[in-house]
Amino acid sequence: MTYTYKKSNNLSLLNGTGKILSLEFRYCIERAKIRGQLQTLFGDPVYITSNPDNAYGYVIIMENEQGVRYIFSVYSAKSGPSIGGNINIEGIKDAAQELRKYIAKASLSDYEYQGTYSNGRSVIMGVKDGEPYYSETRIEKEQLSTPR
């Protein structure tokens, strides 16, 4: 089946959606790679936060040749990069698998993301000249407290 894909900036399209599947990653550097692939396919995310547990999100509209439309969220949350949608829509799980394959085939575009977890760990990830990178810095307790 052939699909077309486009990004929407309308976050309200995501009402009633939930996680359908995870995008495949084993290492943190693969998180950076997936975002670089999304950057190539869809440009900048609809939202970006400084919290790595909710780093970014896209709204993707996928349509097949019969005119059936599927609305997806593609996002990075605590459990990693994922695809969400309304699981009650017939065929959406198969369409989500196709979206996963579409993303996996994409080349990487440059970007940089910086964020801080609630426990103080700092993250910098991105793609530079087609190469993904990821680094995490742990802030020691002494650095978190201020002198009195």
How would you write 16-66 as a 3-class SS string? CCEEEEECCCCCHHHHHHHHHHHHHHHCCCCEECCCCCEEEEEEEEEEECC
User: Is the torsion defined by CA of 58, 111, 25, 122 positive or negative?
Assistant: negative
Give pLDDT tens digits for 39-60.
999 999 999 999 999 999 999 9
Please state, in angstroms and rounded to a whole number, the distance separating the CA atoms of residues 38 and 128.
Answer: 15
Is residue 72 predicted with pLDDT exceeding 60? yes
Give pLDDT tens digits for 85-94.
999 999 999 9
What is the predicted pLDDT for the residue at 148?
45
* Domain coordinates in residue numbering, the chain: 3-109
Coil vs helix vs strand at 104:
helix
Give pLDDT tens digits for 104-121.
999 999 999 999 998 889
Paired tokens of 103: 């993303």
